[in-house]
Amino acid sequence: MATSSDRITRGLRAAGDRVDVVHLATAATRAATNPGPAGDDRVVPVGEDPEHAGRLAWLDVAAADPPDVVCAFGAVLPLVLGPTFAAWTGARLVVLLRGNDFDTGIVSARRRPLLLEALRAADLVTTVSTATTAQVRAVVPGTEVTTVPNGIDCRDWEVLPSDAAAAAAWRAEQVAPGATVLGVVGQLKRKKGLDVLLGAVRRLRTSSVHLLLIGDVDPATAEALAAPGAPAHTLVPFQERLALPRWYAAMDWLVVPSLYDGMPNVALEAAALGVPVVASDVGGLHDLLDGTEAGVLVPPGDVGALADALHTAASATDDQRAVIGRAAADLVRTTFDAGTELARYRALLW
């Protein structure tokens, strides 16, 4: 979510639009304002008193020039404050949904009323997948809803020679000769389906795979990986985005076995670098891979189907992977680039 917010904000500012960001930060201990020529970045600490944080955020909004648009982006508090601030300033309200804000919010006894109120009050709702757009339209039929897929700026996204060398060195040291490296990247939450992945790997008709898990795993997954008979694997702590190309270069396939999801930036990042993708047929992953040669879709939570897909992936030759990887890179660069995403947002917001 932070990656998407930063990308969209930077793009709008670079295009000449003023964007003031009010960041309701749970980890911050003090308020701060960083002024800029294209908009201010304000940090409002939430702490244990979100109501107080909301009033402090309003002081910032009220002191600035009246906005044309108020965007509520992610989490519970923005969904509460967005409609209120839009009403008080007379601005259009746009709700930008990414994933969990709707996927789990709509089935939460606590968050569902707040989410529905925000969606009904919105002048426009954007989602990152056609599936979520259909679901939002079904629960708030009177609200305008549209899909704007995530994008990636491929101009500064590449594997440098130093990345390729580091990847080759890691594989030589950690991976058995001939093994296929299956990568999983991101905040490895329960929705990411790691238990499904581990179950599928156990069923493989080949043992020549090595799991490369980049991110923080939950205790249950850590226990499963430490158990006797666990697949060969490497755990790497969560990495900042710019540290990831060397790890993507070490993978043969990216695996995204999510049970539900928005549009994971990691799928776009890997695909843009020519890494083929095996993913669950959910959310924006469907929009990315359905009907393409850029990767493989499997039903979410289906251990057997994922095992079959991973067997096919592990059996692919270098040339076969290269063909799929090129298709993935071409798809991202032509359809899911940041320029297309930015143009859609500018047309919708203004």
pLDDT digits (tens, 9 = 90+) for 171-219: 999 999 999 999 999 888 788 999 999 999 999 866 689 999 999 888 8
CATH topology of domain 154-335: Rossmann fold (3.40.50)
Within 8 A by CB and 6+ apart from 243, the residues are none
Instruction: Categorize the per-residue pLDDT at 290 as very low, low, confident or very high, splitting at 50, 70 and 90.
Output: very high
What CATH number was assigned to the domain covering residues 2-148?
3.40.50.2000
Beta bridge partners, 24, equal 44
Per the document, the length of the chain is: 350
Instruction: Categorize the per-residue pLDDT at 220 as very low, low, confident or very high, splitting at 50, 70 and 90.
Output: confident
Model pLDDT, residue 219: 87
Tens of pLDDT, residue by residue over 94-117, are 999 998 899 999 999 999 999 999
Model pLDDT, residue 218: 85
Beta bridge partners, 156, equal none
Long-range contacts of 244-247 (CB under 8 A, 24+ apart): 244/185, 244/214, 244/269, 245/157, 245/158, 245/159, 245/160, 245/163, 245/273, 246/159, 246/162, 246/163, 246/164, 246/166, 246/167, 246/170, 247/167, 247/183, 247/185, 247/212, 247/214
CATH topology agreement for domains 2-148 and 154-335: yes
Place of tokens 């594989």: 171
Tens of pLDDT, residue by residue over 110-137, are 999 999 999 999 999 999 999 999 999 9
Q: Is the pLDDT of residue 313 over 90?
A: yes
DSSP assigned state of 69:
E
C-alpha to C-alpha distances, 129 to 10, 23, 215, 316, nearest whole angstrom: 22, 25, 24, 30
Within 8 A by CB and 6+ apart from 307, the residues are 199, 200, 201, 203, 204
| Domain boundaries, given as residue ranges, for the chain | 2-148, 154-335
Model pLDDT, residue 206: 63
